[in-house]
Amino acid sequence: QLQLQESGPGLVKPSETLSLTCTVSGGSISSTSYYWGWIRQPPGKGLEWIGSLYYSGNTFYNPSLMSRVTISGDTAKTQISLELISVTAADTAVYYCARGFRSGEYFDLWGRGTLVTVSS
């Protein structure tokens, strides 16, 4: 059964780079039927789509974060990575990775999420 697990530092200093990895176990990240996304949720607030990576290598980002975010994939390691540069306290959130189903553009499988706090 496919599972997603986010990992990375729980604490990042302001102005530095947030780097997270999503490890996909029990399957491949190369299927053309699926894509991979990152979503975040500040404490006590709603969900915010960060961006998505498709099998073709195409990426789509939230316009509000586009200038600071990069999503990439490593098919050999079955990992999806997120980098967010120049972080501030507003980037403090639980970060989720999720699998998207291409024909409907919805996320059908989610990781448990990892809390990242931006603080000096």
Residues that bind another protein (CB under 8 A): 35, 37, 39, 46-49, 52, 60, 62-63, 96, 98, 100-101, 104-108, 110-113
Distance separating alpha carbons of residues 105 and 103, to the nearest angstrom: 6
Nearer to another protein, 67 or 120 (CB): 67
Report the nearest approach of another protein to the CB of residue 108 (Å): 5
Q: How far is CA 82 from the centre of its chain?
A: 5
Nearer to another protein, 78 or 114 (CB): 114
Decide if 24 contacts 35 (C-beta within 8 A). no
Nearer to another protein, 55 or 110 (CB): 110
Report the nearest approach of another protein to the CB of residue 14 (Å): 26
Decide if 78 contacts 27 (C-beta within 8 A). yes
CA nearest 87: which of 60, 111, 65, 112? 65
